[in-house]
């Protein structure tokens, strides 16, 4: 296995461990800090932050950000030709996580909104990685050949 592929594989497994710990933790991972976040949001709202940036928005944005690396890693593994597999992997993995939470973790709250946010995050990661890979690709020299 080439060194670059080995690094991507290790990155994927490290990400999978972190994602698994967050997604399958027996209780909501934000339970301990939820009160402090609500207080901080209230303070920020009093200072002029828009009201639509609320706890639900922060939670949904966190779900999006949590799955961006999945999309990026999938594109790096399968290549830019299969960029769409990042979003597909996000959809499948997110649905499996929500199903596991529903069946085995009674303190967790599985929702379709989480599946949508996670899929969106994975798709965003795929598209951003596709953009980076496209911009890094050398541009062929299209200058006409010189003749004598």
96-120 pLDDT per residue, tens: 999 999 999 999 999 999 999 999 9
Instruction: Return d(Cα 113, Cα 24) in angstroms, integer.
Output: 17
| Domain assignment present for 145 | no
pLDDT for 87 beyond 90: yes
Widest CA span of the chain, in angstroms?
A: 79
Interatomic CA distance for residues 117 and 95, integer angstroms: 11
Asked if residue 147 belongs to a domain, the reply is no
The per-residue pLDDT for range 63-79, each reduced to its tens digit, is: 999 999 999 999 999 99
pTM: 0.85
Give the range with max mean pLDDT: 36-40, 43-47, 120-124: 120-124
Return d(Cα 89, Cα 101) in angstroms, integer: 18
CA–CA gap between residue 121 and residue 63 (Å, rounded): 7
Domain assignment present for residue 84? The answer is yes
Query: Is 27 contained in some domain?
Result: yes
Answer yes or no: is 141 within a domain: no
Give, rounded to a whole angstrom, the gap between the first and last alpha carbons of the chain: 48
> How would you class 86 by CB atoms within 10 Å of its CB: exposed for 0-12, middle for 13-18, buried for 19 or more?
buried
Residues 6 or more apart in contact with residue 55 via CB below 8 angstroms? 34, 37, 38, 41
142 in any annotated domain: no
**Structural domain boundaries, residue 63:** 3-136
Answer yes or no: is 7 within a domain. Answer: yes
Q: Taking all residues of the chain, what is their mean pLDDT, rounded to a whole number?
A: 91
Q: What total of structural domains would you count in the chain?
A: 1
Torsion (CA) 16, 20, 21, 27 in degrees, nearest 10: 160
């Amino acid at each position: 296995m080439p060194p670059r592929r080995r690094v991507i594989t290790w990155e994927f497994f490290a990400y999978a461990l972190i994602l698994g710990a967050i997604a399958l933790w027996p209780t909501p991972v934000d339970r301990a800090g939820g009160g402090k976040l609500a207080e901080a949001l209230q303070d920020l709202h009093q200072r002029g932050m828009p009201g639509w940036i609320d706890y639900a928005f922060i939670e949904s944005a966190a779900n999006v950000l949590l799955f961006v690396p999945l999309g990026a890693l999938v594109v790096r593994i399968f290549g830019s030709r299969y960029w769409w597999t990042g979003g597909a992997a996000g959809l499948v993995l997110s649905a499996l996580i929500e199903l596991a939470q529903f069946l085995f973790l009674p303190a967790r709250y599985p929702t379709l909104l989480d599946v949508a946010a996670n899929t969106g995050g994975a798709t965003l990661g795929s598209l951003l990685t596709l953009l980076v890979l496209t911009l890094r690709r050398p541009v062929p020299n299209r200058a006409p050949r010189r003749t004598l």
